[in-house]
Amino acid sequence: MKLMTLNTHSWQEEKQLEKLDIVAQAIIEQDCDVIALQEVNQHQDSPAIDANISSNHPVLADNYGYLLQQKLIEYGYHYQLTWDFVHQSYEVYQEGLSFLTRLPIIEHEVIDLTDNYDVTYWKHRRAVRIKVASQQGEVDLFNCHCGWWNDSENPFQEQFDRIAAKLPTGNSFLLGDFNNPSYIRNEGYDYLLQRGLIDCYEVAEKKDSGITVIKNIDGWEQNSQALRIDLILSNQSVTVKQHQVIFNNDFYPVVSDHFGVFAEVELS
C-alpha cells in the first residue's frame, strides 16, 4: 500500500493552482493508494457544489481537495474524496481534512478532539478515520492535525488519547501533521511511541532525513531548525519498503510550507 500525507496550507500559497497540479502529478506517478491532506481550505463565500463527496459540511467550489480530485479525473484517475470541516481559518476560510483514496471506503468517522467544540476557534481540532478495503483485508486510516504538547488549553496528550480510543485491533495507520518534533524527548513524539505506535520512518528499509519543516511557519513562528513533525505511524509491526519526504525540491517541487511524506508499506 502506498500512502502520502501533506499539510497543503491551501490558498495561502503563491501559484496555488500550479502547485495543486504538481501534487496531482505526484499522486499519479507514485501510484498512491491513500492520500491524507490537512489544511484543506475553501473560501466561505464560494458557491456550494452538488457532488458525491462524503463530508460533514457543504463542499464549496474552490475546496482544495475537490479541485485536486477533479485534476486527477482530468488525467484519467479516479479517487474517492472525503472532506470534513474542522474550524474557521484565516478569517474567511473553512479549514478541513481530506482523504483521497482509490480503495473502497467502508466507514467514515469524524472524531472531535476537544470538549465543547467551537468551529470558530482555531485551536479546536478534529481527526478523521476511514476504513478501506484492500486486497490484504480492511485497513483503518486516521487523518490527524494535532496541537502542541504544552498547550494549556488543548494539550496534545488529551487530543491524541481521543484518537487512540478509536484505534481498532486490525491494521491501522495514522497520517498527518502532529506538531510534535521527533527530536524532543518526553513530549508528544515519545508519547506516540509509548502508546504502542510504530514510526514508519524508523523501520523503513529506504529513507532520507525525514525532515518536513525547515523554517518558521504558521504555528512555528520562532522556529529556526529542521523539524520532523509530519508522520506516518502504524499500530502494528509493518514492513516499510521506503519512506521519503516529498515536495521538498529534491523529490518534486515545494508546494506548501510543509513538505509531505510518502511511504510504501507491506500489510501483514
- Grid cell in block for residue 152: 494549556
Rounded to whole angstroms, the Cα distance separating 13 from 223 reads 19
Phi-psi bin for 265: left (phi > 0), alpha (psi -120 to 50), beta?
beta
> 124-158 burial, b for 16+ CB within 10 Å, e for fewer?
bbbbbbbbbeeeeebbbbbbbbbbbbeeeebbbee
Q: What string of DSSP letters covers 99-148?
A: EEESSPEEEEEEEE-SSS--TT-TT--EEEEEEEEETTEEEEEEEEE---
The candidate with the shortest Cα–Cα distance to 98, out of 180, 42, 35, is: 35
Question: pTM for the whole thing?
Answer: 0.96
User: What was the pLDDT predicted at 224?
Assistant: 64
Q: How far is CA 233 from CA 62, 64, 140, 229, in A?
A: 31, 25, 12, 12
| 54-55 vs 105-112, strand pairing mode | unpaired
Going from N- to C-terminal start, the domains of the chain cover: 2-266
In CATH terms, is domain 2-266 a member of 3.40.50.620?
no
pLDDT in tens, 120-171: 999 999 999 999 999 999 999 999 999 999 999 999 999 999 999 999 999 9
- Angstrom CA distances, 124 to 54, 111, 118, stand at 21, 11, 7
84-127: pLDDT as tens digits: 999 999 999 999 999 999 999 999 999 999 999 999 999 999 99
* Torsion, Cα of 15, 21, 24, 26 (10° steps): -80
